[in-house]
Amino acid sequence: MTEFIPPAKPLIGDEERAAVDRVLRSGMLAQGPEVKAFEEEFSAHFGLGRACVAVNSGTSGQHLGLLSSGVKAGDEVIVPSFTFAATANSVALTGATPIFADIDADDFCLSPEAIEASITERTVGVMPVHLYGHPAKMDRIMAIAEKHGIQVFEDAAQAHGAKLGGTPVGAFGTFAMFSLYPTKNMTSGEGGMVSVANAEIERNMRLYRNQGMEKQYHNEVVGLNNRMTDIHAAIGRVQLTKVGGWTAQRQQNAAFLSANLEGVTVPPVAPGAEHVYHQYTVRVASDRDGLAAALREEYNIGSGMFYPVPNHRLAPFQVDVDLPETERAARECLSLPVHPSLSQGDLERIVEAVNALAKAGA
């Protein structure tokens, strides 16, 4: 049988290994100069024009970002249900209530109309997710937030380098979280980077990250240990030098797939949006699960479903809301390999397999 095409493939090279070795040899492993340099280089690389704070995971970044923005028990934060559970988890961990709103069919991201319809007197913020690497409708979402006096918290876990109207994601909200988990567009092993809108949120982030201390043993608030290590930061710094090339490759791979796939709905890109294709997600109108199984069994091609169970139906949340576009996306979504290590032959195999299966199923 032909070689397996994995749905994702983290790329770690000699440069990352050398950087880790350099930190290990220094004997200083915990948060230090590598983390500080990574924070500055990350902000500069993506043109964020804001300070960044590194933490040990994307989820802790969201959690600390919400705490730093004053979100607390009794508050409501509007989130999509069609996302990874970390989005709603981070809200719930502050004691606030995640309010699930529907997505738009055209970009899989929060619907501005649904956001506006979900605002109550308890709403303090909205957390759009730039799902799959496509920017949410930030121009409209920022306007709604301003009109209603609520904050915007960006979940940019999957969207390093994505832009809307030339503005990078991560430069819109009170804060934005980028995940550095191995399957994301770049990695530090585990880790998260949070861009912050102002000095107050930045200081709060740094306090919460480190047990509430700026000055050692003079704790100011109740905090956590969510620090990034210098080992992880060293990996992330090397990845920053490579992520631009990888993104361009993802975009080329996506262009080939979109030009050649038949029988499935290819991912749309909104006018003015730069999509960085963390995932290349098609819609399969009938029998998505059958198509995915046949891809694996007959063609040795991996794929993914992000996400088959909407968050409002997960055990910890269980809310009775009607989210038709969320339900449809959960049923139809199928992410095909788009990662930068695919060869032209791999891309052709994916197209042939999907087109044959979609035709047979039709």
Ligand X SMILES: *Cc1c(COP(=O)(O)O)cnc(C)c1O
Give the active site residues: 184
Give the one residue of 7, 125, 168, 192 binding ligand X; rule: CB under 6 A.
Answer: 192
Question: How far is it, in rounded angstroms, from Cα 123 to Cα 71?
Answer: 10
Would strands 151-155 and 175-179 be described as parallel, antiparallel, or unpaired? Answer: parallel
| 115, 129, 162, 233: residue in contact with ligand X (rule CB under 6 A) | 129
Stretch that binds ligand X, among 17-25, 30-38, 53-61, 120-128 (CB under 6 A): 53-61
Q: How far is the CB of 161 from ligand X (least distance, A)?
A: 15
189 is a site residue for ligand X (CB under 6 A): no
Whose CB is nearest to ligand X?
58
Site residues for ligand X, 79-98, by CB under 6 A, read 83-84, 86-87
Q: Which of 71, 101, 157, 164 binds ligand X (CB under 6 A)?
A: 157
One character per residue 234-253, x = contact with ligand X (rule: CB under 6 A): --------------------
| 228 residue type, one letter | M
Contact between 181 and ligand X (CB under 6 A)?
Answer: yes
Of 94 and 179, nearer to ligand X (C-beta) is 179
Which residue type does 321 have?
V
To ligand X, the closest distance from the beta carbon of 349 in angstroms equals 27
Alpha-carbon span 338 to 354, nearest angstrom: 14
- Token pair listed for 33: 């100069």
Task: Establish if 226 lies at the interface with ligand X (CB under 6 A).
Answer: no
Task: Quote the least distance from Cβ 93 to ligand X, whole Å.
Answer: 12
Helix axes 230-240, 33-45, angle to 10 degrees: 30
CB of 345 to ligand X, least distance (A): 29
Is residue 277 reached through a cis peptide bond, with omega within 30 degrees of 0 on the bond before it? no
Which residues have a Cβ under 8 Å from the Cβ of 3 and sit 6 or more positions away?
A: 300
Q: Which is nearer to ligand X, 226 or 349 (CB)?
A: 226
CA dihedral 7, 13, 16, 22 (to 10 degrees): 150
Does position 155 bind ligand X by CB under 6 A? Answer: yes
Q: Which member of 43, 69, 174, 179 binds ligand X (CB under 6 A)?
A: 179
Least spacing, CB of residue 181 vs ligand X, in Å: 4
> Which residue shows structure tokens 């109108």?
285
Contact between 188 and ligand X by CB under 6 A: the answer reads no
Q: Residue 83: which of 252, 254, 326 has the closest Cα?
A: 326
Distance CA 226, CA 2 (A): 43
Rg of the Cα atoms in the chain: 20
Interface with ligand X, residue 59, by CB under 6 A: yes
Q: Does 57 bind ligand X (CB under 6 A)?
A: yes
What token pair was written down for 263? 């029988």
Looking at this protein, which amino acid is placed at residue 143? A
Closer to ligand X by CB, 84 or 299: give it.
Answer: 84
Rounded to an integer, what distance in angstroms lies between the CA atom of residue 322 and that of residue 319?
A: 9
Q: Residues interacting with ligand X, by CB under 6 A?
A: 57-59, 83-84, 86-87, 129, 155, 157-158, 179, 181, 192
